[in-house]
């Protein structure tokens, strides 16, 4: 039973034959992708307040120290990104700031907000106004919270990390796999194109990895909304000293992800954290968001490689490198250059932004036209 599943009425069960089959997968069982994709983004760390204290995480700050970007700061960052040719504003969060973060709540109140989600809506609108498509990762979300911001996001995400109960999530406030799956289910029910992923090396075992991937596949089979799955290794940092998983481990996990997930779901590794070149033949087809103008605030000690580096990686693999939007093409209607005959995956607001006859619209079309 997945911890917390009952609390959120998440009914995911595992077929033992499928678990065993996935556990037997090796890199030789999957094919290398025939192209690599990436998105150009600006990283906007909206708040570093987080109700959790995951032991491997350097992102969150304690109450009294946590930051909250102002609307003006957000506008500055996204404008810089738009000027540099980005298409995505990646809004990152800790999980909902809890009652301990009085300064954050007071600041939000001063700006006219009673929740971080109403503020997220405002800054997503700023990003759209400046010509970037929002992709928000606000941690766990109730259906109501997600509904509040879904129409101003081209896609959203949250890492499942693992379905296991691991010490890395221990402490007075424990991140709950059932709640994560509930967030992924909320996205499916609301028709939000979604990014999720697993974190490797935080105390989970091989069976946990297999079950985590099967749980994500189950959610995608129900709703069709998972656009990509990140397979990320933990890294040592200033707060923790986790062993980085070996290249052999990562090769096997990436191959398991590729084997488990339907072909249309991309398998992504973050090139600033992973031994990317050694993983490409295991089915990686996406290198995630790459920022030409901002650091990776989640892992600030690990700089994003330059775009040139991504081109070198693709060259060495002998495959083309193609830029994509934060929302995958198959969720866009065909009149916007997408593959979907349905119109409901992205909101009218996002469709209008992509179709706009302005500088931003040209930038999106340039990406969509580069098939
Ligand atoms: S990993 Fe995410 S949920 Fe955990 S402490 Fe860091 S920001 Fe919070």
Residue 130 lies in a domain: yes
Q: Which domain holds residue 253?
A: 6-369
Q: Whose CA is nearest to atom 8 of ligand 1?
A: 94
**Number of domains present in the structure of the chain:** 1
**pTM tops 0.85:** yes
Ligand 1 center to residue 319 CA distance, Å? 35
53 CA closest ligand 1 atom index: 5
Q: Which helix (H) or strand (E) holds 353?
A: helix 348-355
Residue 281 lies in a domain: yes
Residue 222 lies in a domain: yes
Residue 1 lies in a domain: no
Residue 268 lies in a domain: yes
Residue 240 lies in a domain: yes
Q: Output the domain CATH number for residue 16.
A: 3.20.20.70
Give the mean model confidence (pLDDT) for residues 133-154: 97
Residue 149 lies in a domain: yes
298 pLDDT more than 70: no
340 pLDDT more than 90: no
Q: What is the pLDDT of residues 203-215, one digit of tens each?
A: 999 999 999 999 9
* Beta strands 155-157 and 286-290, pairing class: unpaired
363 pLDDT more than 80: yes
159 CA closest ligand 1 atom index: 2
Longest dimension (CA), the chain: 57
73 token code pair: 């700061």
The contacts of residue 35 (CB under 8 Å, 6+ apart) are 285, 314, 319, 320, 321, 322
Residue 252 lies in a domain: yes
175 CA closest ligand 1 atom index: 3
Ligand 1 center to residue 161 CA distance, Å? 11
Amino acid 300: pLDDT: 66
Give the mean model confidence (pLDDT) for residues 95-117: 93
Q: What is the pLDDT of residues 179-232, one digit of tens each?
A: 999 999 999 999 999 999 999 999 999 999 999 999 999 999 999 999 999 999
- Ligand 1 pocket by Cβ (under 6 Å): 50, 52-54, 57, 59-60, 94-95, 139, 175
């Amino acid at each position: 039973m997945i911890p917390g599943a009952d609390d959120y009425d998440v009914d995911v069960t595992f077929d033992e034959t499928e678990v065993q089959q996935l556990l037997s997968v090796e890199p030789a069982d999957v094919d290398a992708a025939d192209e690599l994709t990436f998105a150009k983004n600006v990283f906007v760390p909206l708040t570093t307040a987080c109700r959790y204290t995951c032991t491997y995480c350097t992102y969150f700050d304690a109450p009294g120290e946590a930051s909250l970007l102002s609307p003006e700061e957000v506008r500055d960052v996204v404008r810089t990104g738009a000027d540099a040719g980005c298409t995505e504003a990646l809004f990152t969060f800790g999980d909902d700031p809890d009652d301990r973060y009085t300064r954050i709540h007071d600041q939000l109140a001063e700006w006219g907000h009673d929740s971080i989600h109403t503020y997220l809506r405002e800054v997503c609108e700023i990003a759209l106004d400046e010509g970037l498509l929002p992709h928000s990762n606000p941690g766990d979300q109730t259906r109501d919270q997600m509904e509040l911001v879904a129409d101003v996001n081209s896609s959203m995400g949250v890492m499942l990390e693992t379905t296991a109960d691991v010490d890395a999530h221990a402490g007075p406030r424990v991140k709950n796999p059932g709640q994560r799956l509930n967030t992924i289910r909320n996205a499916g029910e609301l028709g939000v194109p979604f990014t999720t992923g697993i974190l490797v090396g935080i105390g989970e075992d091989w069976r946990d990895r297999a079950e985590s991937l099967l749980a994500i596949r189950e959610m995608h089979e129900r709703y069709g909304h998972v656009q990509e799955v990140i397979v990320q290794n933990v890294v040592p940092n200033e707060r923790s000293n986790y062993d980085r998983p070996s290249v052999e481990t990562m090769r096997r996990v990436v191959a398991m992800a590729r084997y488990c997930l339907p072909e249309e779901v991309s398998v992504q590794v973050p090139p600033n954290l992973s031994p990317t070149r050694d993983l490409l033949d295991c089915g990686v087809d996406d290198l995630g968001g790459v920022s030409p103008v901002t650091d990776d605030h989640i892992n600030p000690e690990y700089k994003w490689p330059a775009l040139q580096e991504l081109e070198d990686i693709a060259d060495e693999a002998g495959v083309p490198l193609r830029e994509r939007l934060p929302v995958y093409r198959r969720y866009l209607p065909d009149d916007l250059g997408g593959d979907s005959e349905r119109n409901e995956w992205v909101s009218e607001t996002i469709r209008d932004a992509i179709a706009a006859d302005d500088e931003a619209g040209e930038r999106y079309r340039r990406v969509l036209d580069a098939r």
